[in-house]
Amino acid sequence: MTKIKAQSNKRTITFVVRGDPKSQKRHRMGRGFSYDPSKSDKANFMTLAFKHIPSRPITSPIRFQVVYYMPIPKSWPKYRKLEAETDNIPHIKTPDFDNLVKLNLDALAPFWNDDKQVYQVTASKYYSHIPRTEIVITYLEQ
């Protein structure tokens, strides 16, 4: 579900991408060339987010907010799983949220002209029975 909400001269794009959040992997070198092992993850993420892309790339400053809901470990006892679902237990294991954000910003490059337009990033990770990535992009009207 995409919401584009206008507040004075600000616009907001809100959407959810279901599935386990993926993180940016380090580029690899091999026999004189380098490759991006996260290329398929970025393509998959963009495929899911593509229907939310603005009609024109954003050219104004961007505030990027993202909440990652990571899968609850199957090894956890029932009481801990219930607690994770009802109390928003922070996810403090790998992957690091900065690598999660890198993948999202790279994958969403068609949304804006240049990622240097992103002036603020707010990110958090929690456990959930429904793994997903919730994104809110706020920008000034063009």
pLDDT tens digits along 20-64: 887 765 655 667 767 555 566 667 777 778 888 888 999 999 999
Yes or no: say if 15 and 52 are a contact pair by the CB < 8 Å rule: yes
Beta bridge partners of 6: 11
Share of the chain above pLDDT 70, in %: 82
- Distance separating alpha carbons of residues 132 and 130, to the nearest angstrom: 6
pLDDT computed for residue 71 by the predictor: 93
pLDDT computed for residue 97 by the predictor: 85
Give me the chain's average pLDDT, please.
Answer: 83
Helix (H) or strand (E) run with residue 64 in it? strand 62-71
The pLDDT of 109-137, averaged and rounded, is 92
Q: Where are the beta strands (DSSP E) in the chain?
A: 3-7, 10-18, 28-30, 33-35, 62-71, 118-128, 132-140
pLDDT computed for residue 3 by the predictor: 55
Q: Is 142 or 85 the better-scoring residue by pLDDT?
A: 85
Decide: residue 45, CB within 10 A, 0-12 exposed, 13-18 middle, 19+ buried.
buried
Q: Is 68 or 2 the better-scoring residue by pLDDT?
A: 68
Token pair of 96, please? 């690091």
Structure pTM? 0.81
Yes or no: say if 53 and 135 are a contact pair by the CB < 8 Å rule: no
